[in-house]
């Protein structure tokens, strides 16, 4: 073998060796890349699992919140119905004593012929009733006889021309008026005197 051939053979061997090393490096790189991809796939899979768990937790929380909201609405509806149903409970309780006293007055009227005593008993019950409604409930009775006519508080059932009047005045009250905390609950029904010639 000549030197040239030997050199060529050495070169071929070196090239072969280099190619094998390169092939080995490529294999290692591919193995590392494959390992990295596998690690990345595992990490992604874990992240997907985390997110799925979070979504399931949020869905569960949403369902629970919706159920709590529905229960709250039901409680509010029930409370409102009870408030309406029993709104007048205190008023009714306050009226029970005068109601009992009216019954006693009727019983007394059956047993007694003394009209004056019966009248006093009924007046006492009326005063008790007025006091309860005024003190506990803000009911105010008004009878505007002799006052200037005020259409916001009074209803004219009749109008008469009268001498000596300079403006419309209440001549007579057919029905007393009532205010609840200052607001007119029922207008007083009145006869109005109007200045003559107007």
- Domain spans of the chain, in order of start: 1-80, 88-137, 139-198
What Å distances lie between residue 138 and 16, 35, 133, 195, 198, CA to CA? 113, 87, 6, 36, 39
Structure letter (DSSP) for residue 185: E
Q: Is 186 helix (H, G, I), strand (E, B) or coil?
A: strand
Length of the chain: 198
Q: What tens digit of pLDDT does each residue of 120-162 get?
A: 888 999 999 999 999 999 999 999 999 999 999 999 999 999 8
Specify the CATH number of the domain 139-198. 2.30.22.10
Q: What tens digit of pLDDT does each residue of 21-66 get?
A: 777 777 777 777 777 777 788 888 888 899 999 999 999 999 999 9
Closest C-alpha among 188, 180, 109, 100 to residue 149: 188
Strand 183-186 with 154-162, pairing: unpaired
Strand 154-162 with 188-195, pairing: parallel
Q: What tens digit of pLDDT does each residue of 68-117 get?
A: 999 999 999 999 999 888 888 888 999 999 999 988 888 888 888 888 88
What's the CA gap between 184 and 157, in Å, rounded?
A: 17
The pTM for the full model equals 0.59
CA 172 remoteness from chain centre? 47
């Amino acid at each position: 073998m000549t030197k040239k051939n030997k050199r060529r053979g050495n070169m071929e061997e070196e090239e072969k060796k280099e190619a094998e090393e390169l092939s080995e490096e490529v294999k290692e790189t591919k193995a590392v890349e494959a390992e990295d991809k596998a690690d990345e796939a595992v990490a992604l899979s874990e992240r997907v699992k985390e997110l799925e768990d979070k979504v399931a937790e949020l869905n569960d929380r949403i369902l629970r919140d919706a159920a709590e909201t529905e229960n709250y609405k039901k409680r509010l509806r029930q409370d409102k119905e009870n408030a309406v149903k029993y709104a007048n409970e205190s008023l009714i309780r306050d009226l029970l004593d005068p109601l009992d006293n009216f019954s006693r007055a009727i019983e007394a009227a059956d047993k007694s012929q003394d009209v004056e005593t019966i009248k006093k008993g009924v007046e006492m019950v009326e005063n008790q009733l007025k006091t309860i409604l005024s003190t506990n409930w803000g009911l105010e009775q008004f009878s505007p006889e002799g006052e200037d006519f005020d259409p916001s508080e009074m209803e004219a059932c009749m109008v008469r021309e009268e001498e000596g009047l300079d403006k419309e005045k209440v001549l007579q009250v057919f029905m007393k008026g009532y205010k609840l905390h200052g607001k007119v609950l029922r207008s007083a029904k009145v006869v109005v005197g109007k200045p003559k010639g107007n």
